Structures are given as C-alpha cells and as structure tokens.
Amino acid sequence: MSTIKLQINTKSNRYPIFIGSKLITKLSKLLKNCSIKFTKCLLVVDNKVPKNLVNKIIKSLPKKQTVVYNFKASELNKNQINVNKILAILLKKNFHRNDCLISIGGGITGDVSGFASSIFKRGIKFVNIPTTLLAQVDSSIGGKTGINSIHGKNSIGSFYQPSLVISDTIFLKTLPKREIVCGYGEILKHSLIANKKFFLFLNKNAAKILNLKSPFIEKSIHESCLIKKRVIEKDEKEKNLRKILNFGHTFAHAYEAALQYSKKLNHGEAVILGIMNASKFSFKNNLLSKTEFELIKNHLTQFKLLIKLKKKIPSSKLNHIVSFMKKDKKNNSKKINLILLKKIGKPILKLSFENKKIHSFLKSELIN
C-alpha cells in the first residue's frame, strides 16, 4: 500500500503525518522534504523497540551529531525524574533550540519526550516516530504531552505540536497481541465518538485489523487520524470539542491510578474498560438506546475484547477510583464530568454527575 500523508493545521503549528511501511529507511528524505534542519539530534528510544529497527533509523538520519538515550518506558517512569534526565543530556551536550529531539517508542515515550521538548529553551524541534498502534492512532497526534504525578495521570504537561510524525507499520509486526488490542481500543473510541460508518467497518473487519492485515490496518490508522485531525484543528487546547476524545478516559485514567499504574492493567486495556463503562452509563441514564449499547457490547464480546472490571480491580479500590475521577483535569466543579454517547457517532459534552451516582454505578460493576 502506498504512503498516506495527512496535514495537521493548528494555530500553533502545521505538520505532516506519514502512514506506511518501511518509512524509517526514508527518514533523511522525509526530514529534508519537511524542511527540518538541525546540527544535533537526540534520539529518545523506548528500550522495547527492536535494536535492528533503531539502527535503521540511525543509518537513515542525516550525517549529524546523534546522541541516543535509552528509556525504560512505563507509567511509573513517566515522571519528572526522566524528563530531567533528558533535559540534562540536552544541556550537557550543548543542544540549541534549532536542534532536534526524535521520540522512538509508544505513547509514554512520546509524552515524556514531547514534554521535555516543550520546556527545553522554550521549545526544541520535535519529531515523533510512534512504534505502537495506540501511539500511531492517538497519542502522537494533537500535541498533548505530559507526565504522571502522585495526584493522577498526565497531571503535569503542555500542548506542544511536533514538526513531523512518521507512523511506520513495520513496528506493529514486532508487538505482542496485547499491544495491538490496546491500540484497537483507541480506534474503536474514535469510531464511537465520530463515525458510525467507521464503527460498522470495524464490526465487519476487526479480526483482520487485529491480525494487521493490509489494507485494513492502514485504513483504520488513517481513519482514526482523520477523526482526531478534524477535532484538534477546531479545538487545539481542549477548550470544548476536543474533550470528546476523552470518551472512556475519565474511567480509564482513574483505574490506572488506583492500581498505581500496575502492569496488571495497561492504558489501552483501561480505555477498553472505560469505553464499556461509559457506554453502559450512557444506557443506564437513558441517553444511549439499548440497541446501540448492545451493538457496542457485542462488538467487544465477539472479538474477545471485553474485560470484566471486577477481574482487574478489587472492590477495595472503589473509593480510590472515585477520588481520582474527581481530580480529573477536565473537571471544573465539584461534580465529575463525563463524555457520554447519545448515539454511536454522537457524543455528548458537558455532562456532570454527583460523586454518589458514579460511586453507585461503579459499585454495581465491581461487586455485583
């Protein structure tokens, strides 16, 4: 399949996304075509990325001074300590604002690298090469960067758009099935908030997508990126419309935090749980019809994506979950804000609920 190019146009920056196979061997040409010039380059590399692919990237870079920082990506390491390590390298090696930082890894690596890029001398050039499906369809697009703190997930961060995103499907073939499922959760989310036709495509072709069959995987990545592109171009700084991208995430982030970012539940799995819970909560509150709720539930069940909340999270964590949901950065009152569904493809913004109502719902999910 030929290379797909998408142009993102926000108020703060314009940049392309390239989607295709074996793009990393053309890195020097892509940088040149996008007028990205630098004297020095820092590669922040997720240590799970195969070394042979990292070497291909290094070989295809322009002959400049290149420094490599190997990053042990995990939610626990998505913190200020590792941001400071990146900043220390940039300062020690005398990098300038016109130099470049390239992230090679999943969403965590991109978030940490992007945040470091945004605060180093008020902004160094940032190129993102996402290597997981989740990062390719979601976190690499839109300029959200951030780190976790004891107060919650992504509680410290910035909006900082990259100069270039290269989504090479060659990386996907190196991933375990669990990682593909996690990325699929974000693809599903995009269909539910924006495009029922895309949801029906997923309903028909999910098995092929999960098995990385071409052209189904490329079409899914492209369609997800298109949906996110349309949203962020209208609302870059999450003042209003962009909040729909958080469908399922208020639940998901709270689950992750309550489990202290344990490997027992990774981000993509938490999102799938959150999608199911947000859909069910929409149905229980007479917003989403039973027919459409069953469509979503059956989709998750049919492709063995449905995870039972109580199998992942003990009921003793209930109060912790609600507490983290209250701290969500999108809340602006004492109530908990949720993005819910009216129909598949029709989300509802600006719905707030009392803590007691959320507590009661989650209690029934965790205990009953």
User: Looking up tokens 């039973």, which residue turns up?
Assistant: 290
Q: Quick check: 307 pLDDT over 80? A: no
Non-local CB neighbours of 149 within 8 Å, separated by 6+ positions: 79, 80, 155, 156
Residue-averaged pLDDT of the chain: 94
Residue with the two structure tokens 């220390």: 88
Band (pLDDT 50/70/90 cuts) for residue 363 is very high
Residue 151 has pLDDT above 90, yes or no: no
Which run of H or E residues covers position 40? strand 40-46
User: Residue 314 corresponds to which tokens in the numbers above?
Assistant: 């003990």
Predicted confidence at residue 25, as pLDDT, reads 95
Return the pLDDT at 112.
98
Per the structure block, which two tokens stand in for 283? 């149905």
pLDDT band at 1 (very low <50, low <70, confident <90, very high): low
Q: pLDDT digit string (tens) for 315-347?
A: 899 999 999 999 887 777 789 999 999 999 999
> What pLDDT score was predicted for residue 64?
80
Query: Considering the entire predicted model, what is its pTM?
Result: 0.93
- The mean pLDDT of 203-210, rounded to a whole number, is 96
pLDDT confidence of residue 365: 87
Looking at 122-136, 296-310, 345-359, which range is the least confident one?
Answer: 296-310
pLDDT tens for residues 190-204?
Answer: 999 999 999 999 999
Residue 10 forms beta bridges with which residues? none
Q: Is the model's pLDDT at 6 over the cut of 80?
A: yes
Average pLDDT over residues 75-104: 97
Distance CA 28, CA 65 (A): 14
Q: Which residue has the higher pLDDT, 314 or 1?
A: 314
21 vs 2: CA distance, rounded Å: 8
Q: Show the tokens assigned to 322.
A: 């609600």
Per cent of the chain over pLDDT 70 is: 99
Give, in words, the CATH class of 177-366: mainly alpha
Tell which residue, 141, 104, 114, has the closest CA to residue 6: 141
With contact defined as beta carbons under 8 Å apart, do 99 and 125 qualify?
A: yes
Residues of the chain with CATH 3.40.50.1970: 4-171
Per the DSSP assignment, residues forming a β-bridge with 146 are 157
CATH 3.40.50.1970 applies to domain 4-171: yes
User: What pLDDT digit, counting tens, does each position of 91-130 carry?
Assistant: 999 999 999 999 999 999 999 999 999 999 999 999 999 9
242-294 pLDDT tens trace: 999 999 999 999 999 999 888 889 889 999 999 999 999 999 999 999 999 99
Domain ranges in the chain with CATH number 1.20.1090.10: 177-366
Question: Which residues on neighbouring strands pair with residue 4, listed in sequence order?
Answer: 19
Question: Do residues 252 and 271 make contact, with C-beta atoms less than 8 angstroms apart?
Answer: yes
